[in-house]
């Protein structure tokens, strides 16, 4: 495929693969978020900020979309031989469930410090979990060794046309439910969700603007866009789902073509998004999933008066033992009182 660009028809193909196999997650709304923006001088359409609630998706994150789509691409020999992947947690769970449904053996590498609930979820789906290293960068070499030893097929966490097409179905659903949306914001880790959704949206409605959000300490895509090539980093954000050690060739090319800008946030600001989602929207959203909301609330995303804005809650897999700690570390966000 030329220039590592996934065409629109592949997103529609992925949607057919996923039909009836994933949950159609709702679009939520928050008038309180709109009041925060109004205090900053921005009045959004409908007096509300919308949120695509992929935290309510199967496995608690959008990742099941790409995993199921990738699994559909395997031939009989690849299915018989088994698959392998590596992930901080959400992609691992997606692959584990997709492999279970396809009756394919899955080997999943996860960091030694991975959220235990994510580890147990993978095992619950029948995957063989191997914990190794601190992040994807350290895990990669070990994954390649195991892949070669056992003849397994690699299911990439982000840099793959099937994965990008699957994740981009989020964008198609946003257009279905909010056909007049003006601005869509998602987190960026490896970049498949953001770039895939941006492509699906902008190839359908070119005027929509799509922004990505990265932690300042996990900015592999920003660096790749600046330098025009993947740049290895050592990511250290509390938003573990955004801790990608590099951008991929597919996701970089797609981001360069379709994403309007990337916002960088510190961890405290991202955690303020977690707190707002829980306290004001009654949604448990993990840091990676709340980054887009935080960027909007703190005025970091260019929004014009009267625009309809949708953020993506990409996942909700928070370690319950750490929730109090995460909320305590959140930056303060001034929330205006409701009008009398």
Q: What is the pLDDT of residues 231-260, one digit of tens each?
A: 999 999 999 899 998 999 999 999 999 999
192-201, 281-290, 319-328: which range is least confident on average?
A: 319-328
Do 186 and 315 share a structural domain? yes
Do 310 and 203 share a structural domain? yes
Do 320 and 203 share a structural domain? yes
> Distance between CA atoms of 299 and 153, rounded to whole angstroms?
43
> What's the distance, Cα to Cα, between the start and end of the chain in Å?
57
Do 51 and 87 share a structural domain? no
Do 316 and 167 share a structural domain? yes
Residue 334 lies in a domain: no
Neighbours of 193 (CB within 10 A): 34
Tell me which DSSP letter residue 133 carries: S
Do 171 and 22 share a structural domain? yes
Question: Which of 115, 133, 157 corresponds to the end of one domain?
Answer: 157
Do 281 and 136 share a structural domain? no
Do 294 and 243 share a structural domain? yes
Is residue 340 pLDDT above 50, yes or no?
no
Give the total number of structural domains in the chain. 2
| pLDDT value of residue 135 | 74
Q: Is 186 helix (H, G, I), strand (E, B) or coil?
A: strand
> Distance between CA atoms of 71 and 98, rounded to whole angstroms?
7
Read off the CATH number of the domain in which 273 is found: 3.40.50.1100
Q: For residue 138, what pLDDT band results from cuts at 50, 70 and 90?
A: confident
Do 181 and 48 share a structural domain? yes
Which residue numbers are catalytic? 63, 314
Nearest to 86 by CA among 117, 127, 58: 127
What are the Cα distances from residue 301, in Å, to 18, 34, 184, 224, 234?
31, 14, 10, 20, 26
Do 221 and 146 share a structural domain? no
Neighbours of 5 (CB within 10 A): 18
Residue 335 lies in a domain: no
Give yes or no for a contact between 315 and 90, defined as CB atoms under 8 angstroms apart: yes
Beta strand pairing status for 49-53 and 309-313?
A: parallel
pTM here is: 0.95
> Distance between CA atoms of 200 and 97, rounded to whole angstroms?
25
Residue 203 lies in a domain: yes
Summarised one tens digit per residue, pLDDT across range 36-64 is: 999 999 999 999 999 999 999 999 999 99
Mean pLDDT over residues 213-234, rounded? Answer: 96
Question: Which of 99, 134, 157 corresponds to the end of one domain?
Answer: 157
Is residue 270 pLDDT above 50, yes or no?
yes
Beta strand pairing status for 27-30 and 49-53?
A: antiparallel
Residue 333 lies in a domain: no
> ∠313-317-319 over CA atoms, to 5°?
135
What are the Cα distances from residue 138, in Å, to 92, 119, 158, 282?
16, 18, 17, 36
Domain holding 135, by residue range, is 63-157
Q: For residue 339, what pLDDT band results from cuts at 50, 70 and 90?
A: low
Do 152 and 203 share a structural domain? no
Can you give the length of the chain in residues? 340
Do 294 and 207 share a structural domain? yes
Sheet holding 83-86, edge to edge: 128-131, 106-110, 83-86, 153-154
171, 173, 174, 176 alpha-carbon torsion, rounded to 10°? 130
């Amino acid at each position: 495929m030329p220039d590592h660009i996934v065409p629109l028809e592949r997103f529609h193909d992925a949607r057919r693969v996923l039909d009836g196999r994933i949950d159609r997650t709702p679009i939520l709304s928050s008038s309180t978020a709109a009041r925060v923006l109004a205090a900053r001088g921005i009045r959004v359409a409908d007096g509300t900020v919308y949120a695509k609630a992929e935290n309510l998706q199967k496995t608690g994150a959008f990742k099941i979309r790409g995993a199921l789509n990738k699994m559909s691409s395997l031939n009989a020999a690849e299915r018989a031989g088994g698959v392998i992947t590596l992930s901080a947690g959400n992609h691992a769970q997606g692959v584990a469930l997709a492999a279970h449904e396809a009756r394919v053996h899955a080997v999943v590498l996860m960091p030694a410090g991975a959220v235990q609930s994510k580890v147990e979820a993978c095992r619950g789906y029948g995957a063989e979990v191997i914990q190794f290293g601190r992040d994807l960068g350290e895990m990669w070499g070990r994954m390649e060794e195991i892949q070669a030893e056992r003849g397994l097929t690699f299911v990439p966490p982000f840099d793959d046309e099937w994965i990008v097409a699957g994740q981009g179905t989020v964008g198609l659903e946003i257009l279905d439910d909010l056909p007049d949306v003006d601005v869509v914001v998602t987190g960026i880790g490896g970049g498949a969700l953001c770039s895939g959704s941006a492509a699906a949206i902008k190839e359908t409605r070119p005027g929509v603007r799509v922004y990505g959000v990265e932690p300042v300490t996990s900015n592999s895509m920003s660096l790749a866009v600046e330098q025009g090539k993947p740049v290895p980093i050592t990511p250290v954000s509390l938003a573990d789902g955004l801790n990608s050690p590099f951008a991929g060739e597919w996701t970089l090319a797609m981001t360069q073509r379709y994403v309007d800008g990337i916002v960088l946030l510190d961890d405290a600001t991202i955690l303020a998004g977690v707190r707002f989602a829980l306290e004001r929207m009654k949604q448990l959203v993990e840091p990676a999933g709340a980054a887009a909301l935080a960027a909007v609330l703190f005025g970091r995303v260019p929004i014009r008066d009267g625009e309809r804005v949708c953020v993506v809650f990409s996942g909700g897999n928070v370690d319950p033992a750490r929730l109090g700690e995460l909320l305590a570390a959140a930056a303060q966000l001034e929330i205006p009182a409701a009008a009398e």
